[in-house]
Structure 1
Amino acid sequence: MRIGLPKWLFNRQLGRTLGWIALIVFVAVAVNLVGIRLVGDAHTWSRWLDEHAGYFLVWRLCLYGATAYGWIWMRRRLRERDTSREAHQRLLRAEVGAVAAIVLLEISVLLRQP
């Protein structure tokens, strides 16, 4: 029995989303710990990441390109299924949010570089 707890807390979609976020954070921490272990210490790992920043930029650009391709494919299918103005507005808000998140991420990467 769920006494006093909000209903949204037991939403299945929320649980999946939180699970994916936890998995991504776990993988990121694990990759960093393995990297630090391989090179010896955190300072050397940080230096290695800085020296290979160009490769990571290419990787991110490929990832953004694949994501944009998938988004366009999905958008076309959603627009065929639901042609309402509200659906268009939801897609537009999601697109603006995604582009803003990517721009902020890349700005933070640029500001971090010496």
Structure 2
Amino acid sequence: MNLTTRKYLRVLGLVVVVPLVGALLSLLIASLVAIGGVSFMRFAAWQEWQVHNYWSFLAARLILFGLAAWAWVWFRRRTLQVQPATLQRLKRAELTSLAGILLIELMRVLALWEELV
């Protein structure tokens, strides 16, 4: 393994590990808030709070998705410079992640729509 490959693996580690740790920390905090919210508030009030704050959470998710997309573009450009043969795998990963994100967001919109109707 040469020096540039080691450098890219270190950067890849940072690009993958730092967001993963952030996501796990966010999940832990969200779980604690959800558990505390359900125990301190009535469940209907908790659901109403989530519905009323949907747009704030959507904005936060869009910011995170934007940062992840920016990091992905940077990573993709670097990877294709070093290993051009990985283009098909990268495209497949991009389409899969995009479909997953769209599916999750559409499910949330449908749940919000059912609450409103």
Same fold (TM over 0.5): yes
Alignment partners' CA distance in 1, 2:42 and 2:78: 48
Q: 1:59 to 1:108 in 2, by over 3 A?
A: same
Instruction: Measure how far apart 1:41 and its partner are.
Output: 2.2
Q: 1:54 to 1:70 in 2, by over 3 A?
A: same
Q: 1:43 to 1:107 in 2, by over 3 A?
A: same
Instruction: Measure how far apart 1:93 and its partner are.
Output: 0.5
Q: 1:72 to 1:108 in 2, by over 3 A?
A: same
5 Å-filtered alignment, 1:13-52, equals: 23=24, 27=28, 28-38=30-40, 40-52=41-53
Task: Name the residue aligned to 1:7.
Answer: none
Moved over 6 A (4+): none
Alignment partners' CA distance in 2, 1:51 and 1:25: 20
Q: How many residues align?
A: 92
Alignment partners' CA distance in 2, 1:104 and 1:26: 19
* Greater RCO (CA < 8 Å, at least 6 residues apart): 2
Identity %: 32
Alignment partners' CA distance in 1, 2:27 and 2:49: 21
TM-score w.r.t. the length of structure 1 is: 0.70
Alignment partners' CA distance in 2, 1:37 and 1:78: 47
Instruction: Measure how far apart 1:83 and its partner are.
Output: 1.1
Say what the alpha-carbon RMSD is for the aligned residues.
Answer: 2.4
Answer 1 or 2: which has greater helix percent. 2
Structure 2 residue ranges without an equivalent (≥5): 1-20
Task: Name the residue aligned to 2:4.
Answer: none
TM-score w.r.t. the length of structure 2 is: 0.68
Q: 1:99 to 1:55 in 2, by over 3 A?
A: same
